A = this chain, B = another copy of it.
Amino acid sequence: MNKSFSMSYCISPTVKSKGGNFFFFFQMYGRYTQDLGVYAKEEAARLRESGQRRSLSDRSRSLDLLEYKGRCAKCQICTVRCQKFLISRVGEDWIFLILLGLVMALVSWGMDYCIAICLEAHKWMYGGLDSNVLLQYLAWVTYPVVLITFSAGFTQILAPQAVGSGIPEMKTILRGVVLKEYLTFKTFVAKVIGLTCALGSGMPLGKEGPFVHVASLCAALLCKFMSLFGGIYENESRNIEMLAAACAVGVGCCFAAPIGGVLFSIEVTSTFFAVRNYWRGFFAATFSAFIFRVLAVWNRDEETITALFKTRFRLDFPFDLQELPAFAVIGIASGFGGALFVYLNRLIVQFIRTQKTINRFLMKKRLLYPVLVTLIISTLTFPPGFGQFMAGKLTQKESLVTLLDNRTWAKQGIAEEFDYIGHSQAWKHPQVNVFVTLVLFIVMKFWMSALATTLPVPCGAFMPVFVIGAAFGRLVGESMAAWFPDGINTDGTIYPIVPGGYAVVGAAALSGAVTHTVSTAVIVFELTGQISHILPVMIAVILANAVAQSLQPSLYDSIIRIKKLPYLPELGWGHHEKYNIRVEDIMVRDVRYITLNCTYRDLHNVLLSGNLKTLALVETAESMILLGSIEHAQLQSLLSQQLGRSRRLEYIREQAAAEKKRLSMVSNTGSEEDCHRVSQEVRFQVRAHHQRSLKLKCFFFFFFQITEWEEKQLDEQVNFNNCKIDPAPFQLVERTSLHKTHTIFSLLGLDHAYVTSIGRLIGVVSLKELRKAIEGSVTVKGVKVRPPLASFRDSGTSSSESEATELHKLWDRNKNMSLPREQTPSESDEKSQ
């Protein structure tokens, strides 16, 4: 409704100066109809709602009567009471969290089911055509190409926001920035279907990142749905808390890892975490993981609830102390590998973007890039081809299961003797050593994963990286096992080395390095169902993080930078020069404000000049004393009230009545014109239905009158009576340091803050300025963008000299017993007048 108004206001001022033309009329007309449509919808919704309420209360009343009619009614009454109780409780958090967990578990399980079918079909096709290698190749390649192309096309058409992992976007949203199009139903559908197809293709893509997004989408949609029942769901900050819980659910029901999910989502999405929200995440993620695993049991896939990738390592002697250096090596190498992965991923994206010819070509044929990438990757993994050297036959899940196997593949330095059971067979090649297979697998999957995650489909990078890490760990483990065939321990008992444990450590370390998180350790324990390797895993993860964090940003931060999302970066610890930047150096001095005694025209102009979320309300333009802030929407509704349909109708009605009266006083002869004017009110209401049938010309008579009325309305003073004013907007002082500002902004999730000096509004700092200042694109000296408006205002107090001299100046002045501050406003009065 507001939008339509602002649209029309964009036009009217230019029109007014020209004296009005036909276009303006159409504009008005267009607006009225649109308005009416919206109005009708709203009315209908209101009626429906009240009808529902009435029917509910009717039902309960009738049931109260029924109470005395018979015994069988008691059950019914009980049911109704339960229902009432439930409805009264529906606003509570735990109901929401249970619903969220349930829905997400169902989505996750359903998706896994579909993906499994897709992969099964791929294998079946490939297996059925084993008579002809060419046909086999075609089947092997075409299937993923088709699926990925469909996924890319579908996502592109329905909701391009669904592309990619979604964690960077969630990080930004949880920071307080509104990215509305990322949380719509369309995006949900696009993400779920696109992700299922993408993962069903067998490409090295992950489910975890997108699942965080899917869970958040689910939470946002549930919030909307639940707000039909109660008013709590309209609370903005509560919704953000629910989104944070949803992120945990996403990870939790993807890996059946509730604790790891909560921790991972905190690490990945938050800067400051409110501990009171902790239980929400745990509750929802646990419930979701539980349902997710129970579905598998009910479906007879599993006997009982266990871990997804259950391992069976020795419990009594999981590892020797002397193996710890090997684990540390895995950690450090994973750190470098993780940084390289992030770098490679960014390089590919930037290469495609900067190479103009490639870029132009790809922009034209958007689906060509996914087709090409899929073709390359699937060709290379073709099992009878190169794939035989890198276990190309196995799906991601199968490779992980084999890599975490507790048997040793290589014994006594010769890799040929072990008996491969089931999928492990794929790692065996008659000519090639298992070490070579592993190295090839790691190298090929590394660049393939980095490449595949740049595809314009919903996809994550966690799982591919996890598998690569496991393969690397396995490689180190197998080498250790070959080096020390009888284990390292020298105290009698022989404990052979368990390469599967190394795989677990490697998986946690590499995924931790890529995402810059420590909680991958917990995810690993929950995924494997064993915690015996806790110390090696923790050591490796911490080392990997230390190395990776010093080399590259995390994958998600890297994507945030590439996508240029409005996220506030962390303030580095080493940058001590940042402590010397003050708010006055970065603030915008040209603040949009409205005064207490402004007219609707001023309001209109201010609203036109930019789309800030809130506007400052000052006493007068001279004193500039900040009284509060008003939301943009509030002001627009003020304006629309003043110039809205009802007031226009009223005016026209009055005019018509006056005209009628005048005419009836002058003469009683009814003219066609008069008749038109009287019936005009009716027409207004009918118009929405019979737009075409309207006789337009009778409006020309009113047109100039309406313009005149509009002008008069705009010159009236604004009445702030029914306006919601925030009396205490966030204020900073000009001397507040950048460091403090950053802390306050990121703690409170602020979007902007006003800068005041003795109550006078002198500037505004928004996230944008802060980001710029932190990213170092501006220096202390180079920042002072002095807009024209600021130059004639007294800003003598806002130089960047040290605070001491500033105060002493004041002190000296004070000694002479003058009160300089109080004169300032009147001085500026004189200047501006």
Contacts and interface: CB of A to CB of B under 8 A. Distances in A.
Contacts of A810: 596, 619, 627
A585 to B, nearest CB: 13
A143 interface: no
Contacts of A293: 535
Nearest to A737: B728
B720 A727 contact: no
* Chain multiplicity (copies): 2
Interface string A788-826: 000000000000000110111011001100010110011
A628 interface: yes
A273 B276 contact: no
A525 to B, nearest CB: 5
A535 B290 contact: yes
A740 interface: yes
Contacts of A259: 521-522, 534, 538
Contacts of A278: 267, 518
A55 B534 CA distance: 46
A735 interface: yes
A293 B531 CA distance: 15
Contact of A271 (B274, B282, B721, B740): B274
Contacts of A735: 727-728
Contact of A620 (B317, B320, B819): B819
Interface in A520-552: 521-522, 525-526, 529-532, 534-535, 538-539, 542, 545-546
A252 to B, nearest CB: 10
Interface stretch (A302-310, A635-643, A669-677, A680-688): A302-310
A382 B627 CA distance: 74
A600 B795 CA distance: 32
Nearest to A286: B538
Interface string A272-284: 1111101100110
A747 B272 contact: yes
A797 B712 CA distance: 34
Nearest to A824: B822
A318 interface: yes
A275 B273 contact: yes
User: Which of A94, A259, A317, A736 is the most central at the interface, judged by chain B CB atoms within 10 Å of its CB?
Assistant: A259
A294 interface: yes
B271 A725 contact: no
Contacts of A539: 286, 290
Interface residues of A, number: 101
A507 to B, nearest CB: 16
A599 interface: no
Interface string A356-375: 00000000000000000000
A290 B825 CA distance: 66
Given A744-B748, A810-B619, A814-B619, A279 B529 contact: no
A623 B820 CA distance: 11
A198 interface: no
A625 interface: yes
Contact of A318 (B304, B737, B803, B808): B304
Given A278-B518, A822-B623, A321 B297 contact: yes
Given A532-B529, A623-B819, A627-B807, A733 B731 contact: yes
A570 interface: yes
B743 A748 contact: yes
Interface string A240-278: 000000000000000000110001001100111111101
A315 interface: yes
A534 B526 contact: yes
A736 B727 CA distance: 7
Nearest to A285: B538
Contacts of A622: 819
A319 interface: yes
A581 to B, nearest CB: 13
Interface string A723-765: 0010110011101110010011001100000001111100000
A59 to B, nearest CB: 29
A625 B821 contact: yes
A728 B733 contact: yes
A102 interface: no
Nearest to A747: B747
Contacts of A808: 720-721
Nearest to A534: B526
A505 interface: no
A46 interface: no
Contact of A530 (B321, B489, B531): B531
A768 interface: no
B318 A276 contact: no
A511 to B, nearest CB: 15
A713 interface: no
User: Which of A725, A727, A740 is the most central at the interface, judged by chain B CB atoms within 10 Å of its CB?
Assistant: A727
A811 B518 CA distance: 56
A236 interface: no
B304 A620 contact: no
A321 to B, nearest CB: 6
A521 B545 CA distance: 25
A526 to B, nearest CB: 6
Nearest to A722: B804
B525 A531 contact: yes
A272 B318 CA distance: 37
A54 interface: no
A305 B321 contact: yes
A480 interface: no
Given A276-B271, A542-B286, A320 B304 contact: yes
A821 B627 CA distance: 11
Interface of A: 94, 258-259, 263, 266-267, 270-276, 278-279, 282-283, 286, 289-290, 293-294, 297, 303-307, 310, 312, 315-321, 489, 491, 518, 521-522, 525-526, 529-532, 534-535, 538-539, 542, 545-546, 570, 596-597, 619-620, 622-623, 625, 627-628, 717, 720-721, 725, 727-728, 731-733, 735-737, 740, 743-744, 747-748, 756-760, 803-804, 806-808, 810-811, 814-815, 819, 821-822, 825-826
Given A315-B530, A622-B819, 20 more contacts: A267-B275, A272-B272, A289-B535, A293-B535, A305-B535, A306-B316, A525-B531, A530-B531, A596-B807, A596-B810, A596-B811, A596-B814, A623-B822, A625-B758, A721-B808, A728-B733, A728-B735, A731-B733, A747-B748, A822-B825
20 contacts: A259-B521, A259-B522, A271-B276, A272-B747, A286-B538, A289-B535, A290-B535, A290-B539, A304-B319, A305-B319, A306-B317, A310-B315, A315-B530, A526-B534, A625-B758, A627-B810, A725-B804, A728-B732, A728-B737, A744-B748
